[in-house]
Amino acid sequence: MEVFFLGTGGGRFAIVTQRRRTGGVRILSGKVNLHVDPGPGALAYSVEQRLDPRKITGVLITHVHPDHANDGNVMLEAMTGGAVRRQGFLACARSVTRGNETADPAVSRYHRKLPSRVAELKAGEKVSMDSVEVEAVKAVHYDPDTIGFKVKLPEGETLGYTSDTEYFEGVGEAYRSVDLLILCSMRPRGAPLKWHMSVDDAVKILEEARPRRAVLTHFGMRMLYDTTPQEEARYVEKVTGVPTQAAEDNMKIKVEKGRSLTEFFGGG
Ligand SMILES: [Zn+2]
Ligand SMILES: [Zn+2]
């Protein structure tokens, strides 16, 4: 499995400044080509980084906020070859396609009809589409439908993506022993924010989940200006013992089931 970070910024200030990109995460393994949380820039940065968005086989969206869902419609158009072939799947929180009391839908009624399968998931639900197992994990965020994802690929690698959530007891359980856990840790140590994850929360999640390795991403301005993500990642690794790194825009990592491999760092 290869994981490519097309964006590592989170929150509205990262969006409007593009201090860090907000394009989301691409997961590649054999024929599987998944895009998780297509925020603003997902389409443009995919093309720029030569990750042809027409090769996407599934789009996963954890909640309705723009830094996670803004480019959802255009990624679905790309996945279906310009809305001409009904193919691929969309797995998402219910708010993404239906809206809720806090927000309108992020994916339009027209675009919801494009993929060959759409799974609107609530926490705890699990589906299998094109040999990819997708499990929705509970998250506590101000879109009440927000979910995290646990993904199992056909070759057996497992990956967790927390999305935006504050810490609550047991949040790490669902991600137990995954090969890679991606944490949307927007805030640094000592800077908690209701409904969001700080590095202190990330530590608690990792202590429950004990993944084989972890990557911090989705950085807000406090993370980028009050400290550095690298420094926070070093702290997390030291206190949890879980190999942890801070994501960079255009960073690509290789993850194998049962053992970790080389990292390649790109520019940007
Ligand atoms: Zn976010
Ligand atoms: Zn959010």
Domain assignment of residue 189, yes or no:
yes
Domains contained in the chain, number: 1
Going from the Cα of 128 to the center of ligand 2, the distance in angstroms, rounded, reads 25
Residue 197 CA to residue 46 CA, distance in Å, equals 27
Query: What are the tokens at 22?
Result: 């907000």
- Decide if 66 contacts 37 (C-beta within 8 A): no
* DSSP 8-state symbol, 19: S
Give the CATH number for residue 182.
3.60.15.10
Going from the Cα of 31 to the center of ligand 2, the distance in angstroms, rounded, reads 30
Going from the Cα of 257 to the center of ligand 1, the distance in angstroms, rounded, reads 28
Going from the Cα of 259 to the center of ligand 2, the distance in angstroms, rounded, reads 32
Q: State how beta strands 214-217 and 117-121 pair.
A: unpaired
Q: For residue range 13-40, what is the model confidence (pLDDT) as tens digits? A: 999 999 999 999 999 999 999 999 999 9
Q: State how beta strands 252-256 and 214-217 pair.
A: unpaired
Domain assignment of residue 260, yes or no:
no
Going from the Cα of 6 to the center of ligand 1, the distance in angstroms, rounded, reads 14
Give which of 59, 54, 56, 57 is closest to 39, Cα–Cα: 59
Domain assignment of residue 195, yes or no:
yes
Strand partners, 259: 256
Domain assignment of residue 263, yes or no:
no
Q: Which residues of 98-127 are buried (b: 16+ CB within 10 A; e: fewer)?
A: bbbeebebbbeeebbebbeebbbbebeeee
Q: For residue range 39-76, what is the model confidence (pLDDT) as tens digits? A: 999 999 999 999 999 999 999 999 999 999 999 999 99
Ligand nearest to the CA of 218: 1
Domain assignment of residue 60, yes or no:
yes
Q: For residue range 143-177, what is the model confidence (pLDDT) as tens digits? A: 999 999 999 999 999 999 999 999 999 999 999 99
Going from the Cα of 184 to the center of ligand 1, the distance in angstroms, rounded, reads 7
- Domain range for 7 is 2-251
Strand partners, 32: 29
Domain assignment of residue 267, yes or no:
no
Ligand nearest to the CA of 8: 1
- Predicted local confidence at residue 256, as pLDDT: 87
Please, which residues have CB within 8 angstroms of residue 252's CB and are 6 or more apart in sequence? 2, 3, 4, 5, 263, 264, 265, 266
The secondary structure element, H or E, covering residue 253 is strand 252-256
To the nearest whole number, what is the mean pLDDT of the chain? Answer: 95
Going from the Cα of 258 to the center of ligand 2, the distance in angstroms, rounded, reads 32
Residue 189 CA to residue 208 CA, distance in Å, equals 18
Going from the Cα of 17 to the center of ligand 1, the distance in angstroms, rounded, reads 15
Domain assignment of residue 268, yes or no:
no
Give which of 153, 199, 213 is closest to 1, Cα–Cα: 153
Domain assignment of residue 70, yes or no:
yes
- pTM recorded for the entire structure: 0.95
